[in-house]
C-alpha cells in the first residue's frame, strides 16, 4: 500500500470515529433539549444540537468525498494500465510485423532487392580495392553504396536496368577505380545470398 493510500485509509478511520462521536453527542443534546425545564436552557441545547449535527453532516460528506476520490483514482489507474498494455501489445505487433517483413525480404525479396544485391556483389571487389584493405573505410563505402541504392530503387524501371549499366553508373558516381567485371554468377545472385565476403587481396 502506498503512503497516500495509507494516509487516506487513516483519515477515513478518523472521520468515521468523529461522525460516531458527533452522532452520540447530538443524540444527548436532543434528549437534554427535550427535557429542558426553562426556555433559555432549551434554546442553548437546541443551538448546540444544530452545531453538532452540522459537524456530523460535514464529516460524513468529507468521508464520502475521500471514498469517491479513491474510486476515481482506482479507475484512472485501471485505464492507464489498460492503455499501457494496449501500447505494449501494439509495439509487440509492430515488431512482429517488421520481423515477418524482414523474413519475407530475405526468403522472397522483391525484384528491386535482387537488383541491389547483384550491384553489391559486382561492386564489392572495387570497393575493397578502393579501401586498400582498410576495413573501416570499406564499411563506409558500403554504407555509401547502400544509401545510393536506396535512393535509386524508387526510380521507374530500376529492377529492369542491365546490371552492367547500373553498376557502372554507381561506380562512376562513387569514383571507384579499377576494371568493372560482371560475371554470370553475379548477374543471377540467388535470392537468399548475403552480402559477398571481402575480396581476396593476397
Write down the mean pLDDT value for the chain.
Answer: 79
3 state DSSP class of 43 = helix
> How is residue 124 written as a grid cell?
564489392
pLDDT at 101 (0 to 100): 58
pLDDT digits (tens, 9 = 90+) for 117-146: 988 888 888 888 888 888 888 898 889 999
Inter-axis angle of helices 135-152 and 163-173, nearest 10: 120
pLDDT digits (tens, 9 = 90+) for 142-190: 899 999 888 888 888 888 888 888 888 888 888 888 787 777 555 544 4
Q: Say how far apart CA 117 and CA 109 lie, in whole Å.
A: 10
pLDDT at 202 (0 to 100): 39
DSSP 47-86: HHHHHHHHHHHHHHHHHHHHHHHHHHHHHHHHHHHHHHHH
Model-level pTM?
A: 0.39
Identify the burial level of 188 via C-beta atoms within 10 angstroms of its C-beta, where 0-12 means exposed, 13-18 middle and 19 or more buried: exposed
Please measure the distance between the N-terminal and C-terminal CA atoms of the chain and give it in whole angstroms: 70
pLDDT at 143 (0 to 100): 92
pLDDT at 107 (0 to 100): 58
CB 32 within 8 A of CB 83: no
Amino acid at each position: 500500500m502506498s503512503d497516500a493510500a495509507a494516509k487516506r485509509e487513516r483519515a477515513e478511520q478518523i472521520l468515521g470515529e468523529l461522525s460516531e462521536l458527533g452522532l452520540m453527542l447530538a443524540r444527548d443534546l436532543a434528549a437534554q433539549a427535550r427535557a429542558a425545564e426553562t426556555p433559555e436552557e432549551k434554546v442553548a441545547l437546541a443551538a448546540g444540537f444544530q452545531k453538532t449535527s452540522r459537524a456530523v453532516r460535514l464529516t460524513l460528506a468529507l468521508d464520502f468525498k475521500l471514498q469517491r476520490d479513491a474510486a476515481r483514482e482506482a479507475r484512472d489507474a485501471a485505464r492507464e494500465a489498460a492503455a499501457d498494455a494496449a501500447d505494449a501489445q501494439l509495439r509487440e505487433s509492430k515488431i512482429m510485423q517488421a520481423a515477418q517483413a524482414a523474413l519475407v525480404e530475405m526468403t522472397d525479396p522483391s525484384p528491386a532487392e535482387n537488383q541491389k544485391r547483384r550491384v553489391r556483389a559486382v561492386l564489392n571487389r572495387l570497393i575493397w580495392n578502393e579501401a586498400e584493405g582498410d576495413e573501416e573505410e570499406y564499411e563506409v563505402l558500403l554504407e555509401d553504396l547502400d544509401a545510393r541504392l536506396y535512393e535509386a530503387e524508387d526510380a521507374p524501371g530500376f529492377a529492369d536496368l542491365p546490371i552492367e549499366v547500373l553498376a557502372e553508373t554507381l561506380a562512376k558516381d562513387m569514383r571507384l577505380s579499377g576494371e568493372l567485371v560482371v560475371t554470370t554468377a553475379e548477374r543471377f545472385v540467388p535470392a537468399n545470398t548475403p552480402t559477398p565476403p571481402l575480396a581476396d587481396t593476397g
